Structure 1
Amino acid sequence: MPSVGQELLDVPLPEMVAKLAMGIATAQAALDENSVNTAQLLAETEVPVVFGVSQIIAEDGTVSFTQSPPIDVSLLQIGLLPTFYQFSEATIEVSMDIKTTTSRQTNVNVSAKAKVGFALWSSSVRVDISHNRKFGKEVQGTSRLFTRLAPVPPPERIAPILTVVDNRPDGGA
């Protein structure tokens, strides 16, 4: 019968750790690919945006509005960015309960009978021996895998830099 220590040594912990690491690497690659696909979709999807509205109040108090013509810009250009995630923690928890029982039971029953009569004597002895031996082993194990994902800021270079160039003679004043 293997010892409790041997039972614990038989748990393939290095293999579990390696599989956890490879699982995280595969999942991280899938998360990164999803974020890149989202960034591409945001860059390709354009919406019309009006960048300027002027409110004009006339001398007589009437108000009118003029706007610049709408310009198609990508969702990425107006500030929508994909979410990136990374695994910040991974835990493997293994617990094992091992219970072994051994019992031995021996029963001895002795009975004797004697008869006495005229010039006759007899006796009998009866011995009953029963022997039971019982071994039991109970093993219970549980394992738990826990990972934590944390959102991280997108790479700095993914967001476009907005530069305003105003070529109007009055500089927009």
Structure 2
Amino acid sequence: MSEVPQVTRQLLSAPLPDIIQRLGIAIADAQRALDANSVASAQLMATTEVEVGGEKYNLMALGFTPTFYSFTEATVEAKLSFSMTEGTEFGVTAGAQVGVQAGFVMVAASVSVSYARKFSVSAEGMSSIAARVVSLPPPEILENLLRKLSAKTV
């Protein structure tokens, strides 16, 4: 029985749903870290004061805003190439000798049989993950709040 279908099934049973799930979770974790960094930047800007014309202003009152980032797309690419060969070789050789000597007849026969079954499997795999991150303006509510605060302090 051929081993090729069994090997094919094993190669095609890659854990694609697991890969996609892990990518989604990794992106969500990375997005949460980016958001936490932006919030920390906003807190730092709100507490960092700069003196301008004898007056002290925090960076947000001067119009500085933290940068927010967002993942816009993520791509998982997996390539798998494999080749399989199966071969069977069967060979028969036969020979006969007849000899006559002093009234005697001698007959000799030889038979040689060979059978070989060969399998060859090779596989190559490659994968890549790409993500696109873009800079976004601060959320509208935060931006409106910053404008109100800067109008009061300036």
- Please, what TM-score do these two structures have when normalized by structure 1? 0.75
Residue equivalent to 1:154: 138
- 1:29 maps onto 2:13 in alignment: no
Residue equivalent to 2:102: 118
Instruction: Tell me the percent identity.
Output: 35
Structure 2 unaligned residues grouped into runs of 5+: none
Residue equivalent to 1:134: 118
Residue equivalent to 1:78: 62
Higher helix share: 2
Separation (CA, whole Å) in 2 of partners of 1:75 and 1:164:
14
- 1:48 maps onto 2:51 in alignment: yes
Question: In structure 2, do the counterparts of structure 1 residues 145 and 164 end up closer, same or farther at CA, with 3 Å as the change threshold?
Answer: closer
User: Higher relative CO (CA 8 A, sep ≥ 6), structure 1 or 2?
Assistant: 2
Separation (CA, whole Å) in 1 of partners of 2:94 and 2:8:
41
Question: Which consecutive aligned stretches of 4+ in structure 1 deviate over 4 angstroms post-superposition?
Answer: none
Q: 1:11: Cα distance to partner?
A: 2.0
Q: 1:94: Cα distance to partner?
A: 1.9
Separation (CA, whole Å) in 1 of partners of 2:7 and 2:15:
17
Question: In structure 2, do the counterparts of structure 1 residues 102 and 164 end up closer, same or farther at CA, with 3 Å as the change threshold?
Answer: closer
Structure 1 unaligned residues grouped into runs of 5+: 51-69, 166-173
Q: 1:164: Cα distance to partner?
A: 7.1
Aligned residue type for 1:88: T
Residue equivalent to 1:61: none
- 1:163 maps onto 2:147 in alignment: no
Q: 1:7: Cα distance to partner?
A: 3.8
Aligned residue type for 1:48: E
- Please, what TM-score do these two structures have when normalized by structure 2? 0.84
Residue equivalent to 1:55: none
User: What is the aligned residue count?
Assistant: 146
Residue equivalent to 2:91: 107
Aligned residue type for 1:163: A
